[in-house]
Structure 1
């Protein structure tokens, strides 16, 4: 039975349904009337609007309005948008290195990419961009704002942001650069391999595999375990999330994709063989961990292959499919929800860490309200709420065990408390039959938040 099984029904089955023909005819009549109304409005605007408007502009506006009424992630990609998507997927463009979203007419930073002009200058997740080169961009379309931020490498741009907790706007003068998104970086701390995954582009799966192989080549049999840093990772390609999960799983389901029809479900599985040979794994997540990154965290958590540590993740549990409409345009449409191997929907809820650890190294983190999927207008509703996390809009109150540590950590020079905690946790996970693990302190993390 194919995915198009409905068209295989015998014609008699349609005829015998009471009132079917009348209902179909009424529905077609309503749709025709609505389309006629749309054409009438289009013609009236074209003919009598105070300024002359190009028909293509009107039609594009109608398409954008239709898609924006669905959810925050469905959209029409014109030539510019489609090119930007390809650049991001391929992993190279010229600009500042920011992932942004539109919120009530304001451009809000979702996350800066590591080692890019924006991250190195100190722009953080949650910042509101108000001016570009002293020009107010409130009410500007997100595409226009992104266009202004991108530009030839070496050119400068002044970016003004409003940050919660700061008494006045902050100004940054940034030099645009060719942003080559290296999706994976790794290093060794003592006997622990640290793997930082910043995005899921077309190179992420292979780069993660290479990172594990590089760590094993450097440490040999002395690898105590791995820390996978998915903080502030906005996600990306589903296939790459499956490849990354496969690196750490011996076997089993990684994720399932469920579309509109109840029986229209695809399951994706790991191939046999855990490249890390069962060594302990800790996964770091925060409120910026989204989409494909949540797939990896959820898969490793459900298979009890990793301990997830940090803060509750973003909560984007939907899949977008890109349908090319021409050589230069495409439709990005939400076509499915994804579920973790145990059947959890990440939508709205996000991934709850096994160990909640705040980022004590950032003194103002508590002052910034995190942006999550549940905060976006018209987001998909999670129809099956996690009974252990009904208050998904709220974050837990600060754990008093951690509050007292902030000054102590500052005195010790710990600049990334979550990473420091993860590294030490790996050391405690090593079986007692193994020699004690040497764990060096966490290295300073780039200003990527």
Structure 2
């Protein structure tokens, strides 16, 4: 049967089979409008399919129209087509069949950007920085439409043959990797920061998040941990039940964690801690930033509401919406926002306007008139309207333009590949730092690379000049503008020295990652971590720590 006719029949049959007809709802304007517009959509698609000058892809067209429709709602209501279900399952379970390597585009090339510890990719000898030329004989240069990630994935215990170009090696290197179940860890790093301070980096909330955090707490206690830093920065959230169970590690059984409220009142529910806690007394600091969202905000908000620990960092993202997955026909899914969640103080942390944000993703300053005050268990004031505001706020450090350009152009990464080739071993990640001589070598290496940029001051001067010309003041101030431009015109060599600490920190982390993978990146970052330094300083002053948690 012709596709357009099938679509029309499906639309009509679906209305009848579901007990919906135009006549039975003639007095219900809402259902009449739904049925009318579905019919319009089906007939429109029929006309496009029959008469449009070029052939159209039905799957792509429908997917585009659905995505456009959902875009008018909130950012978290999404449709998953049948060929996207595997990615959806990876997102919720943290598991997929593959090799455990992150493949990304670098100047049109498919490059290995990271390898996960203990995965087939690491065991096979694949290296960060390898450019993938062929996958099972498929030449990626001639097949521009080929998706390297999808070609590498496959059934467990099957081999994938890669031809890679490796730095310092003339001929392509052949690497055979046996596929397996790859588990993306929620806790990529945990360890001791000092003799008595433990640290857990929680990056996701898939199905094993709670178990991983509990294991980390138990092991760190065995190493002498008396105080804990829980890091949920850059954590986009995930499963609600994992957030509840992680809160339960630190708060008593039967304590309220979160309440969901939506249109379907039967689905409204209050979730409580179901298990005995692991530790109700250990001093706790939670690190947050503007990319801590959803489940990460539940954990940080609950810890704050119960005065169970001190929050340090920046205001969280402000996603207080609950999504439910609904099964659709032909193995497709709809992830739909069904409710808002409220933490124990009664506040909803959903940003008032989730469509307009600062460039860094944060909600920015919320006017006092739009905020409602709530109280923690100890009576401390907290507010709704946009994320969770930490008890100690640190400034969000914006990267210098030269650092952004070096990173975006891939030059920090490329130099790390070169460094790894030239240096078989380095010190442990916590101790590794580029020497002054090595940084000078980097400056020479990058001197002939293309990474120009425009500073914010230069942009502002350009705007001022344009405004002056528009309003006919340019002749009066052109000499001053020219002088300012000369003074503020950036020199890359000068900027490399002015911002050398920032650039060197990026190099240290990237290079450490090439030797020690994710754990190396994390440990190399400790020395320049503003929030972590603030946490360690606070733990050295427990009188101040305790005073923060008391009613002002």
TM range (shorter): 0.5 to 0.7
Structure with more of its chain in helix, by fraction = 2
Q: Which structure 2 residues correspond to residues 217-256 of structure 1 after superposition, within 5 A?
A: 217-219=222-224, 223-251=225-253, 252-256=255-259
Shift of 1:79: 2.2
Q: TM-score scaled to structure 1, two decimals? A: 0.61
> RMSD over aligned Cα, in angstroms?
4.1
- 1:268 alignment partner, SS class: strand
Query: Are residue 187 (structure 1) and residue 300 (structure 2) matched?
Result: no
Matched ranges for 1:31-430 at <5 A: 31-93=34-96, 94=98, 97=102, 147=147, 151-152=151-152, 180-184=183-187, 185-188=189-192, 189-219=194-224, 223-251=225-253, 252-261=255-264, 264-271=267-274, 273-325=276-328, 328-348=331-351, 349-358=386-395, 363-364=399-400, 414-429=527-542
Cross-structure match for 1:437: none
Question: SS at 1:248's partner residue?
Answer: coil
User: How far off its partner does 1:45 sit?
Assistant: 0.8
Seen in structure 2, the aligned counterparts of structure 1 residues 273 and 98 have a Cα distance that, compared at 3 Å, is farther
Residues of 2 paired with 1:334 and 1:96: CA distance?
32
Give 1:237 deviation, angstroms: 0.9
The CA deviation at 1:272 is 5.3
The answer (yes or no) to whether the contact 2:323–2:338 under 8 Å persists in 1 is yes
1:245: how far off? 0.8
In structure 1, distance between residues paired with 2:401 and 2:260: 34
Q: Measure the CA separation in 1 of the matches of 2:91 and 2:183.
A: 9
Alpha carbons 1:359, 1:416 under 8 Å: kept = no
Query: Greater strand percent: which structure?
Result: 1
SS in 2 for 1:274: coil
Three-state SS of the structure 2 residue aligned to 1:206 is helix
Q: Count how many residue pairs are aligned between Structure 1 and Structure 2.
A: 322
Highest Rg: 1 or 2?
A: 2
Q: Which runs of 5+ in 1 are unaligned?
A: 1-20, 100-111, 123-132, 138-143, 159-174, 369-405, 434-449
Q: Which runs of 5+ in 2 are unaligned?
A: 1-23, 105-113, 122-126, 130-139, 154-160, 166-174, 352-385, 405-499, 506-525, 547-552
